[in-house]
């Protein structure tokens, strides 16, 4: 019993140590609603990660690319980063306009209107799709593939 209690106390102490795994930095992902408010207050470049729940490469980017300190630092300092599920069923209001997933019930993989507007290539969506916009919210680049951290850093710089 005492050994068990000591283990619990030691584990709790470990969690409180600065720099422990629990305090690991991460990308400060925003929703489109939060992005709109942020752009009004302070214009900045925008990075959007369009993903789906079923996409293996999207999960790999989450685990391998978006956990790299250099990527986190660059995205958090120089960009507003948005992570958006391309198949979400939720209505989104942005720029005074409502966007919905108008493909629900008609397609096997229904794509949200925001995805249709910003992330299609030849009329089709491929996950992951990464979109970079300037301070005026104009698209400057689109990438329709997995990009490793080195490649993403060169794109974002």
Give the model confidence (pLDDT) of 23-80 as tens digits: 569 999 999 999 999 999 999 999 999 999 999 999 999 999 999 999 999 999 999 9
Residue 36: inside a domain, yes or no?
yes
CATH number at residue 110: 3.40.30.10
Residue 105: CB atoms within 10 A of its CB come to 7
Residues spanned by the domain of 43: 21-156
Q: Are strands 79-85 and 45-51 parallel, antiparallel or unpaired?
A: parallel
Instruction: Decide if 34 is inside a domain.
Output: yes
At 72-93, the pLDDT tens digits run 999 999 999 999 999 999 999 9
Is residue 13 a part of any domain in this protein? no
Q: Give the integer Cα–Cα distance in Å for 71 and 147.
A: 12
Q: Does residue 50 lie in a domain region?
A: yes
Report the number of distinct structural domains present in the chain: 1
Q: What is the pTM of this model?
A: 0.83
**Is 131 within the bounds of a domain?**
yes
CA–CA gap between residue 32 and residue 4 (Å, rounded): 47
């Amino acid at each position: 019993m005492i050994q068990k209690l000591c283990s619990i106390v030691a584990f709790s102490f470990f969690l409180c140590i600065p720099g422990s795994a629990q305090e690991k930095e991460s990308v400060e992902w925003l929703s489109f609603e939060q992005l709109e408010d942020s752009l009004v207050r302070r214009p900045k470049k925008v990075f959007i990660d369009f993903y789906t729940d079923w996409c293996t490469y999207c999960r790999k980017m989450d685990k391998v690319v978006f956990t790299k300190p250099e990527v986190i630092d660059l995205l958090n300092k120089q960009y507003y980063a948005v992570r958006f599920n391309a198949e979400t069923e939720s209505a989104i209001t942005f720029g005074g306009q409502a966007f919905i997933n108008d493909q629900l019930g008609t397609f096997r993989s229904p794509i949200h209107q925001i995805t249709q507007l910003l992330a299609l290539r030849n009329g089709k969506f491929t996950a992951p799709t990464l979109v970079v916009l300037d301070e005026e919210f104009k698209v400057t680049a689109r990438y329709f593939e997995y990009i490793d951290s080195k490649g993403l850093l060169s794109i974002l710089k």
